[in-house]
Structure 1
C-alpha cells in the first residue's frame, strides 16, 4: 500500500470551487488507484488579525479545519500570510504551521511520501517537512510558480534550493522542464507529468451553440482576468473581425479595464465578459466555440488548451510553455505572435477553413486523467523504493 500525503495551497474549497480544480482532479485520480491511499492537506494563508476578518478573507477564515471533500479527507490548516513581504516568509510560515498537524496526522496515517502540487510556497515547506518526518518528497511545477516565484527576488533562492533538495520533481511540460533546469534544478530528477482532461465531459457537441442562443462565429477565451492572460489582445483581435462574437470566462482584477476596452471599441454587442464560470459549465461553452483563443505571456501547459481540443475546438495561442507539445498537428490550431494582428489573422483563417471536430479532438487523446494518475503513482512509488 502506498500512502500519499498530498499538500497543496492550490485546492478548491466552498468559497472557491474553481480554485485548483486540476489539482483536485489529479488527486481524485490518484486516490482511485488500487493499493493507494491519499490524504490531502490544503493550507489556507491568512493575514494577521484583524485583516483576516476583512470581507476578502472572511470566507476563507470560516472554512472547516477538516472535512471530507468529494470523498477525500482534507485538512485545511491556517498559516500566516504577511502582506507586503512579496512571499519572503510564506514557505517558512507554512512549514511552521504544518509541523504539529502532520505529527498528529502521522499517528493515524503513516504517509510514505509527501507530494506537493505547487512549487511555492508548498515546495520549500515540504522539503523541510520531509526531513523532519524522514520521508521522500516530490514537488510539481505548473507555470507561474516557476515563472514568477522562481524569478522574484524575495523567493527565487527558496524555489531553487527546494528544487535541488527534493527527492523528485514533476512538471507539466517539456518546456517547463527546460525552465527548471535553467534555474539550476537537476534534470535527471524532473519527470514530465501531463495534465488530464475528462474526455466524457469535454467533447464535440453540434447543438451546443444553439443551446447557448448564439448564432454566427464564436470565439471563447478561458482564464483569470489578469495581464498575463492577454485577454486585451484577444479583444482587439476580435474587434478586427466583423460579425465574430467573443465570450470570456473568468474573473479578476482586470475586469473593469477590459470592460472599458470593450466599450471604447464599441463592440459590447459582440464581446461579453461572462465572469467566473463554474468548471462544470465549461464543456458546452467550449463545444459551442469555433475557436478558443488565449494570448498568455507565459504558461506551463494550460488546461484550457486541452479542454478546448477535447471539445473539438481549435485553439490560437502564442509560443508559450508547452504550446508546441499540445499543437502537434495543423487541425489543432495555430501558434502565433502575441499581437492583435496575428491573433485576428489566425482566428480568421480557422473560421474560413475549420477542421473537423473529430480531428481536433484527436490531438487531446493522450491527455487523460487515468494516465495522469498512473504516472504520478509510479513516480511517487519509485521515490519511496529508492529511499528504502
Structure 2
C-alpha cells in the first residue's frame, strides 16, 4: 500500500513535544513493500521573531524532513485564532489540496490515514473525497472529550466518522464517548498506543543511578508540559504532605513560574526538583530512578507517561480519568487516586509507597503495550479500507 498520513501533531525539529507517539505508530504500521509519506500541516505565521513566542515557532518549522526513514512535508495553512475554529477543517483542506495534488504525481496514495478528529480528521475526509480515496481517522483524547461539546464541531466530526472507512480510538473510554455522541459501533475500534520497549526499560543498576542523582529516600516523578491540565500543582501539594518524599518534575511550559511560587509557598523547595525539558532519550533514567510516576491530568486518552513508566518497571499513581483506569487496572501497574484532588493523590502515593510491587512484574505488565502490535492492528484496518 501507499499510505498518506495527515496530522498537524506530527513532531518537527522545533515542536519537540508534538505527537512523538504518532511518529512511533506510523513507523510500525508499514508492512513489506508499503510506502508511507506524511503531510504535517503547520499554521502559517509571518515572523520567526522570538518576541512572538510560540507563534514564531510556526514560522521556524521546517518545510520538509525525513524522520525515521519516512519523508515528511510541513505545508502551511491559515488559522484564524478563536473565531475560526468552525472553519478550521475547510481552511486546512483547501490549503493542503494543491500540495497533495502535487504529491500524487509520484505518490498516488491508496488511502489517507489521519490523526486527531478535528480539524485533521474532518479535513482528511474532504481531501479523501476530492482525491477519491478512502480515509481513516484516529481519536486521541480532547478531540472526543472536549471539542465535540461545541455543536458545529460535533456535527462535522460525526459526518466525517460516517464517511470514514474506519475510526480508531486509543482507549475504550474514548470509543464509548464517541458512540454516545452518535457514531456507529461497527465503525469504531480501539487500537491502543504502544511504547518503545527497548528505549524504555529498567536500568542496569538502579542503586547506582539513584546515588548519581542524589536520591536517598522515596522519589516521585511527574512528567509533562507545565500547563494547568497536567496537574503538576496537585503533585506538589500531595508531596508537600509526605515528609521525606522527593518530587521530580520533568517538563517546561507557561506555568513554571506559578509552580515554583507554589513550592516556595509550601516550603518544600528542598524536596521539589524542576528538571526542565527532558529529551526522550534521557527519560528512561528518570523513570528508573523514581519509585513512582504520577499522572495528575484532568483528561487523557492514554498518556505516554503511563506506558513509559511501566516499561521502565516503575508503578503509577494516576487520576481516574478516561484511559488511565484501562492501564492502571492490576496491582503491578500501581493505583488510581480516588478522585482528582491533592488529598486523594497524596493518599494514593502513600499507599503505593507502603506496598510497592516488584519492578520486574511491573515491567512484564508494561510489555503488553508493544508498538508492533499497535501497527499490526492499524495496518489491518488500512488494508481493509484499500481492499
Shorter-chain TM-score range: over 0.9
SS of structure 1 residue aligned to 2:248:
strand
Deviation of the 1:258 alpha carbon: 1.3
Deviation of the 1:146 alpha carbon: 1.6
Q: Determine which of 116, 119, 123 is the counterpart of 1:118.
A: 116
| Alignment deviations for residues 304-343 of structure 1 (CA, whole Å, 9 cap, x no partner) | 1011111111101121112222123112111122111111
Kept in 2, the 8 Å contact 1:328–1:363? The answer is no
Distance between the aligned counterparts of 2:172 and 2:366, measured in 1?
17
Kept in 2, the 8 Å contact 1:46–1:52? The answer is no
| Alignment deviations for residues 89-119 of structure 1 (CA, whole Å, 9 cap, x no partner) | 2211100011111111111111111000122
Distance between the aligned counterparts of 1:190 and 1:356, measured in 2?
36
SS of structure 1 residue aligned to 2:116:
coil
Q: Corresponding residue for 1:165? A: 163
Distance between the aligned counterparts of 1:34 and 1:143, measured in 2?
31
| Alignment deviations for residues 50-99 of structure 1 (CA, whole Å, 9 cap, x no partner) | 69983533343133322222321111100001123262222111000111
Q: Corresponding residue for 1:354? A: 356
Say which is worse superposed, 62-71 or 335-344, in terms of deviation. Answer: 62-71
Query: Cα gap change, 1:202/1:350 in structure 2, threshold over 3 Å: closer, same or farther?
Result: same
Kept in 2, the 8 Å contact 1:114–1:135? The answer is yes
2:384 matches 1:382: yes
SS of structure 1 residue aligned to 2:197:
coil
How is 1:1-388 mapped onto 2 (pairs within 5 angstroms)? 2-31=1-30, 33-47=31-45, 49=46, 54-85=52-83, 87-153=85-151, 155-205=153-203, 206=206, 207-336=208-337, 337-385=339-387
Distance between the aligned counterparts of 1:100 and 1:226, measured in 2?
36
Aligned residues: 382
Deviation of the 1:6 alpha carbon: 0.5
Unaligned runs of 5+ in 2: none
| Alignment deviations for residues 21-67 of structure 1 (CA, whole Å, 9 cap, x no partner) | 11111111223x313110000110124x4699835333431333222
Distance between the aligned counterparts of 2:66 and 2:83, measured in 1?
33
Deviation of the 1:143 alpha carbon: 0.5
Distance between the aligned counterparts of 1:224 and 1:267, measured in 2?
21
TM-score when normalising by structure 1: 0.94
Distance between the aligned counterparts of 1:274 and 1:9, measured in 2?
28
SS of structure 2 residue aligned to 1:241:
coil
SS of structure 2 residue aligned to 1:162:
helix
Distance between the aligned counterparts of 2:119 and 2:96, measured in 1?
12
Kept in 2, the 8 Å contact 1:238–1:244? The answer is yes
Distance between the aligned counterparts of 2:57 and 2:228, measured in 1?
26
Deviation of the 1:122 alpha carbon: 0.4
| Alignment deviations for residues 238-258 of structure 1 (CA, whole Å, 9 cap, x no partner) | 000001000111222222221
Unaligned runs of 5+ in 1: none
| Alignment deviations for residues 254-287 of structure 1 (CA, whole Å, 9 cap, x no partner) | 2222111111101111112222211121111011
Distance between the aligned counterparts of 2:227 and 2:131, measured in 1?
39
| Alignment deviations for residues 137-164 of structure 1 (CA, whole Å, 9 cap, x no partner) | 1010010122122223563332232222
Deviation of the 1:214 alpha carbon: 2.1
SS of structure 2 residue aligned to 1:121:
helix
Deviation of the 1:376 alpha carbon: 1.1
